[in-house]
Amino acid sequence: MASVTTRALTKTYEGSEKPALDALDLEIKDGEFLVLVGPSGCGKSTALKMIGGLEDVTSGDILIGEQRVNDYASRDRDIAMVFQSYALYPHMTVFDNIAFPLQIAKVPKDEIARKVEEVANILQLQALLHRKPGRLSGGQRQRVAMGRAIIRRPSVFLMDEPLSNLDAKLRVKMRSEVAQIQRTLGVTTIYVTHDQVEAMTMGDRVALMRAGVLQQVDTPDNMYHAPANTFVASFIGSPAMNLFHAACENTADGAVLTLGGQKIAVPSAALDRYPGLKDRASGPVIVGVRPEDLEDARLKPDHPTDQVIEAEIQLLESLGSDHMAHVALNATPVHDDEELGQEDLDLTTGSHEGICICRFSSQSRATRGETVRIAVAADRLHFFDPDTRQALRPLGD
Amino acid sequence: MNKTTTWLAALALSAGAAQADDVTLTMWHQHPEWKAATQAILDAFEAENPGIKIDLEEIAGTNYSARLNTALAAGEAPDLFALPAGPETLAAAEAGYVAELTGKVDTSTLREAARGAVVGADGKVYGVPILGSYSVGLYYHRDKFAELGIEPPSTHDELMAMCRSLNEQGVTPMVVPASDGIVPSFMYMMLTASVMGADGFEALRHGERSFTDPDMVEAAKALQEMGQECFQPGALSTPYVEGKAMAAIGRGVMMPGGSADYVGYLEINPKADLGVMPFPGVGDNPPSTVTGLEYIFLVNSKSEEQDAAVTFLNWMMGETAQQMVVDTITMTTHNEVNPQGNRILDEFTNAAKSKDVRVWYELPETGGVWSVVQQNTAALILGEMTPEEFAQAAQDAVSPSAR
Amino acid sequence: MSARPVSSFSKTYGHLWFVLPGFAFFLAVMIFPLLFATGLSMTNWSGLGNDVSFIGLANYVEILTHWPFYRAAMHNAFIFLAILVFQHTVGLYLAVLLNEKPRFMQFYRTVLFLPVIMSLVATGFVWTLMLSPNIGLINPMLEKIGLGFLAQQWLSNPTWALIMIIMVTAWNSMGWAIIIYLAGLQNVPEELRQAAEMDGANSRQVFWRVVFPQLSPAFTALTVLTFIGTFRTFDVVYVLTGPLGAPNFATDVLGTLIYRTAFGGSSFSSADIRFAFGVAMALLTMVIMAVICWGLIRILRKREIES
């Protein structure tokens, strides 16, 4: 077991000027489960393959434990990897697939048999040992791939979207199984996924990447509640955080936010979380609010009246437990998912009117087309600099 | 011109005039290297016989029988085609592929041996020689012999001594394209001819003499010795065309060849200064040559222009055509035509005076011997077969007839 | 509008109308000639003349004791084995090298595949010229580079002649081996290699234990194609050493033997032509080859992966 550290790890492919991975600094503690997440092409798989020794390093260092392993072949790094395609050896039985790393290491036969038995028990593969991969279901293959990875007890597990080929239900089940196995074995694990739900549910910490650049590394809770920038804010959480251009006015009594012509008082709790807002002169700002922080005001009669806005419901989706109300706000939305510097226009309407998603409780009787009053949990608002898109609080917080 | 030919020519002319439209006769032959010379004769024919055109297709020897046999079986053979006189002509006639020419063509102008070859025992004629006959002997480069200070050898022992001495001087004594066994078979024919002569051949055909007679085995032994010491390197895989070219340009001072080969040699090397000698004799026997008819021409029984074809054949057997044959291509079968200034043919005629035997494959008794010998020469030369075994195999292929 | 209901017969068999043209063609150019040839092989027809009589299986019985048939088949078998080994070693190796996507890959691939698309008759003729001890290039070249002692009468020595036939065949057919193996290699997922590498395998182990087993379909295809190709070889031998398989039949193969038997090998005599016997040999060869092919495919398929 060992920690994994990358220092300014950079990968630039031939014929491309922009690095696929740009100076990645990560420290993964011994036994930690780190999830690398981000949209496709963000460099997360490249980073994983470099740690695995499957890609050359352009610059920077990779350390496993205290050892710099840049120039080590994969097989000398004491790591195991689970591939998205599982990469099972199609001509070998399940037994041989799992035993392969040990056979290569020339472990005595009876010991191999014993260890395979053990792994098969953990993964419930006992009945399948003599089948070939071609005759296994997706979930079974996934477990065989896991088995092949864990049999050697490596220092580090690398997992490259191991669940993305499974159907939704199985994915949920395997999610917990994989996390469970990792906790049991206590092996340092780097897990790559594009699915933020997997990231949030599985990882001890989550590292979010975009276009080769690391955006934020933190626990899932912190990622959710204290995003470092608008990208993190919009990527983590589903439905995504609502982000709008707004204006903020600092007064003696505190701050007042003007969102689409409506005013919201910003309580001090919010200002404490985003001290940057206090330090700024009045002016434009990006405000973020999670859907669950927007509630039908009729259900919250005690809600401060200066933290309420009005808007017309354009679409109402019922999830049973909640009602997702899509309301129109006369404010410019901020879309910050795929590309940097994208113009903040709502392309569907061409206007500056933005859709804001609210998660109303199932008790809400709001109907489509109705103009409702919405209670804003203003103490949980998020604030970002409209130019840098960074959260308005000191870095490293 | 004698009376007969004049009459025939007149007949030919009237036949030509009677044709309302041009008749085109197709004709297949197996001497691509004669194409130009043959075409010149055909042009002369067409000039004298307006209304008849000959469309000649020359097919290389190795492919000829396969193509012709297939075409005959399919009913797509040309109006005129060539086949070896003897068993193959008779087989084609029996199969009904060939129109009988008895009485339609005049064979009286043929030399005796040629007439004997085309007129069957029953007096029937199926084909006539129009492109001559050939003798096979041993060519040599006269200038190189003079340079080396050597004389044509007349016995096998002299030849072997010469080969050894030439080898020491780094000169290849003899060029023999032996990959298909044809040239070595001719050599074996000449060696046996030197031993048995024409009378002996007659006796062999009637079962009174054998290739396995001790004196005849010497012929096989002689071929083996030559193959091992006189031939150019790689003779057993030298194809005919390559061997012929090497011989013509003097990569070797001697080469077995026929009278018909001279045109080809000169075509490759116009400066070649060649002479011809009969093939050195075995033991004390005199040197020898063998003679055969070139393929004789037959008229397709399915041809719609048989009259025109007969006209053509008769013209070809006449003096005009035969003079052209002997002066530009090979020896003639006409008994009154002599070469005019064709030295090589003169030399062949002289060489044939020593001891000359007809080629086996034209005669029914020895028709099968040829292919057996052809297939075994390589084994003999490689030493994988003894001369005795070789002679025995040849003898087994003889089907003797009663006298 | 009322349409006539489709009868159940035409519903079941109507599609056969579409097969008919193809089937008629197949009948005309395959089945009929095959039946005709089978009939012909039971006669004594020489290929010329009307002398044809039915002799049953006598030709086939004679083949069983016809020494040249076995000699030729042995040569085919020898060529097959040699080419097989060559393709599964050199061909595979070159395919692996090409699969590494070297610089100028297109160039190498073209050069290596070129012999396949060139006419064997033309290239074979060039080979005879190069190998000729009289006018060839090979021997003088060997002498020039100080290897004169290696100079040979390449096509006149019975052993060397067969080796040369094999060499030219190998040169000519290597392109197939490379293309087939290259296609196989490119179908092996990159992740499979990476997984094996992660599991601790060195590059040799990765190849032999993981990549090579994935190539078994290519192995099967190539083996069967090589078998068929070498047992019907004709042009190389005909061009290099003639219809008699010179020297002294050391390179005689079934193709030349059948050709010679059916059409004759001499321009001076067709006395030894036995067309019907040649047809019988050709048919027997075809049947034996079909049986062996079937066996080969059965055995080799078993090794392949269930996917």
Distance between CA atoms of residues A50 and A39, nearest Å? 18
Q: What is the pLDDT of residue C248?
A: 82
Regarding whether A346 and A308 lie in a shared domain, the answer is yes
CATH number at residue A259: 2.40.50.140
SS3 B255: strand
Among chain C residues, CA nearest to B367:
C271
How many C-beta atoms lie closer than 10 Å to residue C233's C-beta?
Answer: 24
Examine residue A45 and state whether it is found in any structural domain, yes or no: yes
- C1 falls within a domain: no
Tokens linked to A256: 């007042």
Instruction: Look at residue C6 and tell me if it is in a domain.
Output: no
Residue C222 lies in a domain: yes
In a domain, C218, yes or no: yes
Return the partners of chain A (3 or more C-beta pairs < 8 Å). C
Name residue A83's amino acid.
Answer: F
Q: pLDDT at position C2, please? A: 57
How many Å apart are CA B149 and CA B144, to the nearest integer?
Answer: 8
The Cα–Cα gap between C56 and C39 comes to 9
Mean pLDDT of B52-69: 85
pLDDT of residue B18: 46
Nearest to A101 by CA among A124, A119, A85, A84: A119
Same domain? For A81 and A121 the reply is yes
Q: What is the pLDDT of residues B321-338, one digit of tens each?
A: 999 988 888 888 888 888
The pLDDT of residue B85 is 85
Query: B322 — phi, psi (to 5°)?
Result: -65, -30
Residues B399 and A210: their CA atoms lie apart, in Å, by 97
Total number of domains constituting chain A: 2
Length of chain B: 403
Longest dimension (CA), chain B: 69
For chain B, list the contacting chains (3+ Cβ pairs, <8 Å): C
* Statement to judge: residues B85 and B147 lie in one domain: no
Judging contacts by C-beta atoms under 8 Å, the chain C residues touching residue B95 are 48-51
How many whole angstroms separate alpha carbon B113 and alpha carbon B333? 9
**Model confidence band, residue A347 (pLDDT cutoffs 50, 70, 90):** very low
* Residue A341 confidence (pLDDT): 41
Tens-place pLDDT, residues C184-239: 999 999 889 999 988 888 889 999 999 999 999 999 999 999 999 999 999 999 98
What is the phi/psi pair of residue A383, to 5°?
-130, 135
Those residues whose C-beta lies under 8 Å from the C-beta of residue C63, and which sit 6 or more positions away, are C69, C277, C280, C281, C284
| Cα B109 to Cα B120: distance, rounded to the nearest angstrom | 17
Alpha-carbon distances of B333 from B43, B111, B204, B296, B359, rounded to whole Å? 21, 6, 26, 11, 15
Domain range for B278? 135-292+354-396
- pLDDT class of C12 with cuts at 50, 70, 90: confident
Of A360, A377, A375, nearest to A326 (Cα)? A360
Closest CA to A139 of A124, A159, A154, A121: A124
CB-CB under 8 Å, C197 with A54: yes
A185 token code pair: 């074995």
| Residue A210 Cα, gap to closest chain C Cα (Å) | 24
- Could you read off the pLDDT of C92-121 as tens digits, one per residue? 999 999 988 888 888 888 888 888 888 888
Q: Which two tokens stand for residue A114?
A: 């014993």
Structure tokens at B10: 């007149």
User: Shortest Cα distance from A312 to chain C (angstroms)?
Assistant: 52
Identify whether residues B188 and B285 lie together within a single domain: yes
Mean pLDDT over residues C22-34, rounded? 93
Nearest alpha carbon to residue C286 among C221, C236, C232, C237:
C232
Q: Are residues A222 and A251 in the same domain?
A: no
Residues A139, A247 share a domain? no
**Considering CB atoms only, which of A83, A132, A148 is closest to C191?**
A83
C contacts of A89 (beta carbons < 8 Å)? 192, 195-196, 210, 213
Mean pLDDT (whole number) for C47-69? 88
**Percent of chain B whose predicted confidence (pLDDT) is above 90:** 49
CA–CA separation, A236 and A259 (whole Å): 23
Task: Please report residues of B whose CB lies closer than 8 A to that of C121.
Answer: none
Determine, for residues C267 and B30 on separate chains, whether the beta-carbon distance falls below 8 Å.
yes
Q: Are B289 and B190 in contact (CB under 8 A)?
A: yes
Give the distance, in angstroms, between the CA of residue B129 and the centroid of all CA atoms in the same chain.
12
- Chain C residues 178-207 with CB within 8 Å of chain A: 189, 191-192, 194-202, 205
Residues A69, A63: Cα–Cα separation, whole Å = 6
Contact C210 A85 (CB under 8 A): no
More confident residue, A279 or A230: A230
Specify the pLDDT at position A342.
42
Indicate the number of domains in chain B.
Answer: 2
Dihedral sign computed on CA atoms, order A202, A208, A214, A219: negative
- Quick check: is B337 in a domain? no
pLDDT for C307: 47
Chains A and B touch (3+ CB pairs under 8 A): no
pLDDT the model gives residue A338 = 47
Say whether both A223 and A271 belong to one domain: no
CB A216 within 8 A of CB A232: yes
Question: Which CATH number covers residue B194?
Answer: 3.40.190.10
CATH number at residue C186: 1.10.3720.10
Task: Please write the tens of the pLDDT for every residue from B139-187.
Answer: 999 999 999 999 999 999 999 999 999 999 999 999 999 888 899 999 9
C51 within some domain:
no
Cβ separation B238–C247 shorter than 8 A: no
Based on the fold, state whether residues B318 and B260 are members of the same structural domain.
no
Cβ atoms C41, C60 nearer than 8 A: yes
Amino acid code (one letter) for C183: A
Interface of B with C in 245-284 (CB under 8 A): 246, 251
Which letter does DSSP use for residue C133 in this model? T
Count how many Cα atoms sit within 13 Å of the Cα of residue B311 in the half-sphere of its side chain.
28
What percentage of chain C has pLDDT greater than the value 70?
94
Whether B344 maps to a domain, the answer reads no
Residues B299, B221 share a domain: no
| For residue B340, pLDDT beyond 70 | yes
- Domain boundaries, position C276: 58-306
Residue B402 placed within a domain = no
Does residue C129 surpass a pLDDT of 80?
A: yes
Report if residue B48 sits inside a domain. Answer: yes
Has residue B338 been placed in a domain? no
How close A81 comes to chain C (CA, Å)? Answer: 7
Which residues of chain A have a CB within 8 Å of the CB of C192? Answer: 87, 89
Residue A345 pLDDT more than 50?
Answer: no
Residues 33-92 of C with CB under 8 A from B: 46-51
pLDDT of B275 reads 93
Q: Which residue has the higher pLDDT, B349 or B270?
A: B270
pLDDT attached to residue C120? 85
State the best of C154, C266, C273, C274 to mutate against chain B, taking most chain B CBs within 10 Å: C266
For residues A241 and A224, state if they share a domain: no
Residues B149 and B285 occupy one common structural domain? yes
- Spell out the residues 6+ positions from residue C39 whose beta carbon is closer than 8 angstroms to its own: none
Q: Beta strands of B188-262 (E only): which ranges? A: 254-258
Mind spelling out the 3-state secondary structure of chain A?
CCCEEEEEEEECCCCCCCCCEEEEEEEECCCCEEEEECCCCCCHHHHHHHHHCCCCCCEEEEEECCEECCCCCHHHCCEEEECCCCCCCCCCCHHHHHHHHHHHCCCCHHHHHHHHHHHHHHHCCHHHCCCCHHHCCHHHHHHHHHHHHHCCCCCEEEEECCCCCCCHHHHHHHHHHHHHHHHHHCCEEEEEECCHHHHHHHCCEEEEEECCEEEEEECHHHHHHCCCEHHHHHHCCCCCCEEEEEEEEEECCEEEEEECCEEEEECHHHHHHCHHHHHCCCEEEEEEECHHHEEEHHHCCCCCHHHEEEEEEEEEEECCCEEEEEEEECCCECCCCCCCCCCCCCCCCCCCCEEEEEEEECCCCCCCCCEEEEEECHHHCEEECCCCCEECCCCCC
B182 touches chain C (CB under 8 A): yes
What number of other Cβ atoms are within 10 A of residue C22's Cβ?
9
Would you call B94 and C273 a contact, using CB atoms and an 8 Å cutoff?
no
Q: What is the pLDDT of residues A39-58, one digit of tens each?
A: 888 888 899 999 999 888 99
If asked whether residues A223 and A248 sit together in one domain, one would say: no
B1: confidence class by pLDDT, cuts 50, 70, 90: very low
Q: What is the DSSP string of B124-166?
A: -B-EE--S-EEEEEEEEEHHHHHHHT-----BHHHHHHHHHHH
C110, part of any domain: yes
pLDDT tens digits for range A83-93: 988 899 999 99
Identify whether residues B310 and B376 lie together within a single domain.
no
On the question of pLDDT at A301 being above 90, the answer is no
Distance CA A312, CA A304 (A): 20
C270–B233 CB contact, under 8 Å? no
- Whether B382 and C270 lie within 8 Å, measured CB to CB: no
Q: Which of A40, A39, A48 is nearest to A4 (CA)?
A: A48
Asked if the structure places residue C64 within a domain, the reply is yes
In the sheet with B127-128, reading across from the earlier edge strand, the strands are B52-58, B23-29, B80-83, B296-299, B127-128
**Using CA atoms, how far apart are residues B138 and B280, in angstroms rounded to an integer?**
8
Which among B70, B179, B375 has the least Cβ separation from residue C241?
A: B179
pLDDT at B95: 85
d(CA C200, CA A296): 59
Residues A322 and A250 in one domain: yes
Give a yes or no: residue A391 inside a domain: no
Strand partners, B358: B291
Domain-embedded: residue A396: no
Chain B, residues 12-31, CB within 8 A of chain C, namely: 30
Task: Please tell me the predicted confidence (pLDDT) of residue B67.
Answer: 86
pLDDT for residue B45 is more than 90? yes
Q: Residues A328, A314: contact at Cβ < 8 Å?
A: yes
Note whether A36 and A162 are same-domain residues.
yes
Max CA-CA distance within chain C?
A: 91
Domains contained in chain C, number: 1
pLDDT digits (tens, 9 = 90+) for A305-343: 888 998 999 999 988 888 999 998 888 888 765 444 444
What pLDDT is recorded for position B121?
Answer: 72
Same domain, B365 and B319: no
| Residue B83 DSSP code | E
Question: Is B384 in CB contact (< 8 Å) with chain C?
Answer: yes
CB–CB contact B65 C128 (8 Å):
no
- Average pLDDT of span B354-369: 85
The residue to which tokens 């003889």 are assigned: B398
Residue B288 pLDDT more than 70?
A: yes
For residues A377 and A250, state if they share a domain: yes
Q: What is the pLDDT of residues A167-216, one digit of tens each?
A: 888 888 888 888 888 888 889 999 999 988 888 999 899 999 998 899 99
**For range A344-369, the mean pLDDT:** 73
Do C133 and B233 form a contact (C-beta atoms < 8 A)? yes
CB atoms within 10 A of CB B292: 26
Q: Please check whether residues A319 and A348 belong to one and the same domain.
A: yes
| CATH number of the domain bearing residue A60 | 3.40.50.300
Q: Is residue A393 part of a domain?
A: no
Nearest to A81 among C198, C205, C209 (CB): C198
Q: Which single residue is written with the structure tokens 């085309």?
A: B118
Read off φ and ψ for residue B251, nearest 5 degrees: -80, 70
| Same domain membership, residue B207 and residue B194 | yes
Q: Which of C192, C198, C205 to mutate to test the interface with A (most CBs of A within 10 A)?
A: C198
Q: Over range A269-276, report the average pLDDT.
A: 83
Q: Where is the domain boundary, A218, A233, A248?
A: A233
User: What 3-state DSSP class applies to B104?
Assistant: coil
- Final residue in a domain of this structure, among A233, A265, A292: A233
* A397 falls within a domain: no
| Percentage of chain B modeled with pLDDT above 70 | 95
Do B239 and B367 lie in one domain? The reply is yes
Tell whether B387 is covered by a domain.
Answer: yes
Final residue of a structural domain among A217, A233, A249? A233
Confidence check: pLDDT of C268 > 70: no
| Shortest CA distance from A134: residue in chain C | C307
What is the domain range of residue A362?
237-384
Give the pLDDT confidence score for residue B225 in this predicted structure.
95
Query: Is A356 inside any structural domain?
Result: yes
pLDDT surpassing 90 at residue A365:
no
Please check whether residues A178 and A286 belong to one and the same domain.
no
For residue A242, the cross-strand partners are A289
Q: Residue B196's pLDDT is what?
A: 92
